[in-house]
């Protein structure tokens, strides 16, 4: 984990309310798929936790949705050349076992972005099947990154692109044929709950969780989630990736 003053290389709109931010860290920082960073935004006391999409040497790309003042300032004020304070890499990330040869990724909304890192990591060596959900045509982005696997099913809530319905529905229609050995998922809670009830317990399913964070490094105990054994886990440090049966959604 390091705190770096990065230089913005590109910060562009890639879909409705969605931006792609690439910055140079000044040094190569190894980032595992599913890890995230905390980005400082001038004028805001809290950093923004954002999943890493791509890590190529010292260049890191993250994608974020406009949610409030912080992300709007990030989109509006950080042009190429600007300095950016970033804390990374954070969290555990995804880890697919050697024997798990068939990987399904199921994402929805902003949850597709950490899964792009997983696709980039595992598509070259696994049979990878992607089910990616968006609100509508205007919110679809980074399709070329999602196509790196064996199969991509794009899903939209309104059917304007691809499958009409959620990525979980699309995945469950395919599960018998695809026979995944592991599932990696990220998205809104209702989506993850649907996935848990449909596939949890049948095969290993790893979910990446989102929570409002304070420090991002495991010290402040702000971003906890409930574990099924009654304990609390820190999303930033013990997660953000958990086995779906291990956490309450």
Partner 1 sequence: MADMRVTLCGVELKNPVIPASGTFGFGREYDEIYDISRLGGVATKGLTLLPRLGNPTPRIAESHGVILNAVGLQNPGVEHFIEHDLAWLKGKTRVIANVAGSTLAEYGEICARLEGLVDFIELNISCPNVKCGGMTFGVKPESIREVTAVAKKNCPRTPLIVKLSPNVESIPANARAAEEGGADCISLVNTFTGLAIDIERRRPILFNNTGGVSGAGIKPIAVRMVYEAAKAVKLPIVGMGGITSAEDAVEFLMAGATAVQVGTANFTDTRASLAIAEGLNDWCDRHLVSRVSELTGTLKLN
Q: Pick the closest to residue 49 from 234, 245, 244, 246 (CA basis).
A: 234
Give yes or no for residue 161 binding partner 1 (CB under 8 A): no
142 Cα distance to chain centroid: 13
> Judged by CB under 8 A, how many residues of this single chain contact partner 1?
29
User: Toward partner 1, which CB reaches closer, 5 or 197?
Assistant: 5
| 36 neighbors 90 (Cβ within 8 angstroms) | yes
3-state secondary structure 220-238: CCCCEEEECCCCEEECCCC
Closer CB to partner 1, 1 or 172, in the complex: 1
Query: Closest separation between CB of residue 224 and partner 1, Å?
Result: 6
Please pick, from the candidates 54, 120, 126, 237, the single residue that binds partner 1 as defined by CB under 8 A: 237
Using rule CB under 8 A, residue 217 touches partner 1: yes
Within the chain, where are the H helices?
69-77, 112-122, 143-146, 167-178, 189-199
Instruction: Determine phi and psi for 65, rounding to 5 degrees.
Output: -100, 145
Q: Residue 247: how many CB atoms within 10 A of its CB?
A: 20
DSSP helix/strand/coil, 43: coil
Choosing from 7, 73, 85, 160, the residue that interacts with partner 1 (CB under 8 A) is: 85
Using CB under 8 A as the binding rule, whether residue 73 contacts partner 1 is answered as: no
Alpha-carbon torsion, ordered 64, 183, 195, 114, to 10 deg: -10
Among 87, 112, 118, 192, interactor with partner 1 by CB under 8 A = 87
What is residue 53's three-state secondary structure?
strand
Residue 212 in contact with partner 1, rule: CB under 8 A: yes
Region of 14-22, 26-34, 57-65, 219-227 interacting with partner 1 (CB under 8 A): 219-227
Rounded to whole angstroms, how far apart are CA atoms 197 and 91?
A: 26
Site map (CB under 8 A) of partner 1, residues 42-71, x = contact: --xxxx----------------------x-
Tokens standing for residue 44: 């805001």
Q: Which is nearer to partner 1, 31 or 103 (CB)?
A: 31
| Residue 109 interacting with partner 1 (CB under 8 A) | no
211 is an interface residue for partner 1 by CB under 8 A: yes
State which residue, 118 or 236, has the beta carbon closest to partner 1: 236
With CB under 8 A as the contact rule, which of the stretches 20-28, 129-137, 192-200, 213-221 interacts with partner 1?
213-221
Q: Kindly state whether residue 221 participates in binding partner 1, applying the rule CB under 8 A.
A: yes
Rg (CA), the chain: 17
Q: Which residues bind partner 1 (CB under 8 A)?
A: 1-3, 40, 44-47, 70, 85, 87, 211-225, 231-232, 237
């Amino acid at each position: 984990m390091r705190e770096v003053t990065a230089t913005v290389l590109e910060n562009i709109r890639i879909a409705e309310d969605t931006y792609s931010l690439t910055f140079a860290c000044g040094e190569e920082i190894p980032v595992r798929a599913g890890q995230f960073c905390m980005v400082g935004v001038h004028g805001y006391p809290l950093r923004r936790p954002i999943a890493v999409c791509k890590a190529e040497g010292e260049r890191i790309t993250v994608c974020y949705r406009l949610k409030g003042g912080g992300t709007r300032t990030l989109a509006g004020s950080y042009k190429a050349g600007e300095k950016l304070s970033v804390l990374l890499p954070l969290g555990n990330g995804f880890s697919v076992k050697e024997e798990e040869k068939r990987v399904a990724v199921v994402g929805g909304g902003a949850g597709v972005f950490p899964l792009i890192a997983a696709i980039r990591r595992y598509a070259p060596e696994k049979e990878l099947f992607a089910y990616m959900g968006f609100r509508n045509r205007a919110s679809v982005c980074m399709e070329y990154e999602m196509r790196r696997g064996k199969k991509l099913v794009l899903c939209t809530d309104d059917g304007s692109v691809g499958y009409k319905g959620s990525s979980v529905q699309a995945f469950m229609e395919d599960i018998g044929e695809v026979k995944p050995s592991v599932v990696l998922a990220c998205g809104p809670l209702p989506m993850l709950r649907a996935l848990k009830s449909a596939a949890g317990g049948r095969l290993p399913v790893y979910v990446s969780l989102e929570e409002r964070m304070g420090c991002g490094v495991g010290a402040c105990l702000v971003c906890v989630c409930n574990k099924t054994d009654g304990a609390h886990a820190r999303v930033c440090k013990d997660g953000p990736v958990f086995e779906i049966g291990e956490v309450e959604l």
